[in-house]
Amino acid sequence: MFVRAYLRASTKEQDATRAKGDLLAFARERDLPIAANYVENESGASLARPELFRLLSDCQPGDILLIEQVDRLSRLNAEDWGRLKREIYDRKVRVVALDLPTSHMMMVKDADDFSGRMFEAINSMLLDMLAAIARKDYEDRRRRQAQGIEKAKSEGKYRGRPEDETRNKAIQSMLTTGQSWSTIISATGCSRSTLARLAKRVAGKIEPVIG
Q: Supply the residues annotated as catalytic.
A: 10
Of residues 116, 32, 41, the one with CA closest to residue 66: 32
Q: In angstroms, rounded to a whole number, what is the distance separating the alpha carbons of residues 160 and 149?
A: 9
Q: In angstroms, rounded to a whole number, what is the distance separating the alpha carbons of residues 116 and 38?
A: 26
What letter would DSSP give residue 203? T
Of residues 70, 72, 73, 68, the one with CA closest to residue 20: 68
**Could you write out the DSSP letters of every residue in 75-139?**
---HHHHHHHHHHHHHTTPEEEETT-GGGGGGG-TT--HHHHHHHHHHHHHHHHHHHHHHHHHHH
- Provide the CA 27 distance to its chain's centre, in angstroms: 21
How many CB atoms are located within 10 Å of the residue 130 CB?
19
Contacts of 204 (CB under 8 A, 6+ apart): none
